[in-house]
Structure 1
C-alpha cells in the first residue's frame, strides 16, 4: 500500500495499558484533605475558575497552595500509563471527496466548437480521450486536430502572424516532436519559417496537404488532453462554423473536497494528500488549487453551510483507472515536525488560569508538569508538547 503521508512511528501509543513494571498504587496511602476518589473530577466550592478544555482534554483545579512537588499516587482510579515518545509527527485534515476528471476553472465542461464547413463524418463518443496533436473529429473526412492551448482558434495562421495562439502552437509542435527545441522556440509567439515547416510535418502525419499553413477549421485550441463527456453533433449532419461538436473535460484526474471555510487556514497549495479509493487502495496526491468563493449546496440538507472547494491532483493518476464521480476519503497533511516530543491527547489536563499540565508517575508518586502544546495528530490521538518531560516518562491517561 502506497502512501505519501508521514506516519507516526510504529509503537507510538494512544491510550495503552499500564506500562510493564509500573508499581501498583498504595491503597493505604491517606487521601489529601478535600481530595475526591476520582483524580480528574473538578472540585467544587474552591472559588477558583476552571479553564474550559477542548474535547477529550480533562480539566483540573490547581490547589493555590500546592508547591508542585511530587505527591503520592492516588488509589485505583481507572487510569493507566503511557510513555512520552519522540519522533516525527504530522497533523491532518480528513475529509470525504469526489474523484473525477478535471473540468475548466469554473467547473463547467469545455465546449468543442467547430469552425470547418462540410459534413461531419466522424464525431467522438462519450468517454473518448484525445491527446494533443490528435484528431478530434472529421469534416468531409478531413481531420480536425486538437492543439492544447487556452486561446480559441479565431483566424487562419501562417508565416508572419503573432499571438498567444501561435505560442501554444509552437509549444505543441516541439512537445510532439515535429520540431527540435534548438530549431523552434516553444515560447515564441511568432509564426516563422520554422513553425511552417513543423506544421507541414504535422500535416504529413495527419495525411493532409502539407501547406505549412493552419486554416481556420483545421484545428481546435483547448486545454488538453481532453475526455469527451457528451457528443453534441452526429455523423452525417452539416458542420456549421460556430456549432458545438462536443462537451469535454480534461483527461487529468482530480479529487475535489468541499472544505469548511474555517479549515481554510490549515490547508495550503502543495500539501501532501493520501487518497483512499473505493476499493481501499491508497494513492498519493497534492493540493493543486483552493477555491476562493465559498458556496452552499442547497441539495444537501445535512450540509447547508457554505464550503470551499479544494482541488487535489493525483501523483499516480493511473491508480484511479476509469473511475468517475467516485467517492473517496482524503487525508491532507497540513503540518509536520521531524522530531517532536509527544503524549496522548487524553493525558492533557487544563489548569485554572489557563494552560495545560500532564500528570507524571514516578514510582509511587505523581506530579503535575506544565506543558506547552504544539501540533495535534488527531488521527492517532497525539499532541506535541514541551516542558519538563523526558522520553520514557510515564504520563497518566484514562484507562481504555
Structure 2
C-alpha cells in the first residue's frame, strides 16, 4: 500500500467516525427532546410551560375580638411565712407548677373544673375528686378518673410536690393547704398580692389572675372567599368556628385563650383583639401557571390551552407573576400554552 493510499483510508475512517458521532448525537437529541402535545402545536409552534401543583387553603388575615370573664383571686389555704414566690404580673401561672411555698412547703397549683374546697382522703368521692383526677391525668399521671380517690392520686401529687421541693413527700391524704386552685391550665397573673417573707393567714389571695376569654369572634368575615368549611388559626392553635366566624364552645375558647397572642392581649390593659388566619378546613388542589397562560379572563374564570384542548379554570389567587388556578375535578395537565390566543374559546 502506498503512502497516498494509506492517507486516503485514514481520511475516510475519520469521516466515518465523525458521521457516526453526528448520527448518535442526533439520535440522542431526538430521544431527549420534549414531546409537545399535538393540541399545543400551531403553525408558529407556541411555547409551553409546565404546571406545578400544590394545596391551597385560601388564607385570609382576620382580627378576632374577644370579651373577658371577670378576674379571679388565687387563694392559699395555708398559714405561715412566704418562703418562695414566683408570681410576676403579666406572666403565666401554670397548672402542675408551684409558684408559692409557705414555711418551706411548696403548694401545688392545679386547674380543675370544680374548685377544690376540702381535704381528701382515700375513698372520698365526688365531682371535685373526678376533676382533680382528670387534671392529674392531663399532667401525665397514669390514673383512671373514676371520681373516687385512691392511692395513685395521692402519689401523683407527692411526685409533683417532690419535684418542687427537691425532697421526699409523705402524704396520707390530699390536704387543701398544699394546693392552689387555678381557673385554667395556664392563666395570666394580673397582679401579685403577697411578698417574699410576708405572712399569710389561710384565706389570703396570693394573686389575681386575668379573667379568661368569655367569647370570641371575627371582627369582619372576609368576602370573596372560596366555598368550604373554615378554620381559624391563631399562633399554633387551629380552632373550629361557627359559619358566622364565632368561637362558641368552651373547649375552643380555652384553646384560643391559651395561645401566646391571646395571653398577651389578656395581660394588656385594654387589649381585646388578636390577629389570625381564616383558612379552608380542606385545602383545594391548584395549578400554578404564569398570568400570560390565561385567556379570556371573566368573573374569576379564564381559559388555558392544554393537551386535551381549551379548558376553563377557576382563578383562585394571583401574585408575584404567578396565578393559582383550579382545574375541573380530577384534571391535572402537565403542560399549558404559555401565551394562548386571546380569543381562545372554552365554551
TM-score for the superposition, normalised by structure 1: 0.48
Distance 1:85 1:259, change over 3 A: farther
Distance 1:170 1:208, change over 3 A: same
1:150 aligned to 2:113? yes
1:90 match:
56
Give the Å deviation of 1:94. 3.3
CA deviations over 1:341-360 (Å, ceiling 9, x no partner): 85649935366xx9955375
CA deviations over 1:203-227 (Å, ceiling 9, x no partner): 5554697332223342123322445
Structural mapping, 1:1-400, within 5 Å = 83=49, 85-95=51-61, 107-108=68-69, 111-118=72-79, 121=82, 122-123=84-85, 124-171=87-134, 173=136, 181=142, 184-185=143-144, 187-202=145-160, 206=165, 210-222=170-182, 223-235=184-196, 236=198, 238-239=200-201, 241=203, 243=205, 245-247=207-209, 258=218, 260-262=220-222, 268-269=230-231, 285-290=236-241, 311=256, 324=264, 333-334=279-280, 335-338=282-285, 340=287, 344=291, 347=294, 349=296, 356-358=301-303, 369=310, 371-373=312-314, 376-379=316-319, 380-386=322-328, 391-396=335-340
CA deviations over 1:341-392 (Å, ceiling 9, x no partner): 85649935366xx995537599xxxxx946153x713555322134998723
Aligned counterparts of 2:107 and 2:332: Cα–Cα separation in 1? 72
Distance 1:208 1:370, change over 3 A: closer
SS in 1 for 2:110: strand
1:11 match:
none
SS in 1 for 2:316: strand
Between Structure 1 and Structure 2, how many residues are aligned? 268
SS in 2 for 1:92: coil
Aligned counterparts of 2:289 and 2:119: Cα–Cα separation in 1? 66
Give the Å deviation of 1:146. 0.7
Aligned counterparts of 1:234 and 1:228: Cα–Cα separation in 2? 14
1 or 2 for the larger relative contact order (CA 8 Å, sep ≥6)?
1
CA deviations over 1:149-207 (Å, ceiling 9, x no partner): 33221222222222343234335556667x6x3xx43x332102333344455555546
CA deviations over 1:274-295 (Å, ceiling 9, x no partner): x7xxxxxxxxx35234378879
TM-score for the superposition, normalised by structure 2: 0.54
Listed as ranges, the gaps of 5+ residues in structure 2 are: 1-41, 247-254, 343-347
Would the aligned equivalents of 1:81 and 1:396 in 2 still touch at CA under 8 Å? Answer: no
Aligned counterparts of 1:378 and 1:288: Cα–Cα separation in 2? 27
Higher fraction of helix: 2
Larger radius of gyration: 2
Give the Å deviation of 1:114. 0.7
Instruction: Give every structure 1 segment of 4 or more consecutive aligned residues whose post-TM-superposition deviation is greater than 6 Å.
Output: 291-295, 326-329, 387-390
Aligned counterparts of 2:180 and 2:154: Cα–Cα separation in 1? 18
SS in 2 for 1:135: coil
Distance 1:199 1:72, change over 3 A: closer
Distance 1:246 1:378, change over 3 A: farther
SS in 1 for 2:125: coil
Aligned counterparts of 2:104 and 2:341: Cα–Cα separation in 1? 76
CA deviations over 1:39-72 (Å, ceiling 9, x no partner): xxxxxxxxxxxxxxxxxxxxxxxxxxxxxxxx99
**Please, what is the CA RMSD of the aligned residues?**
5.3
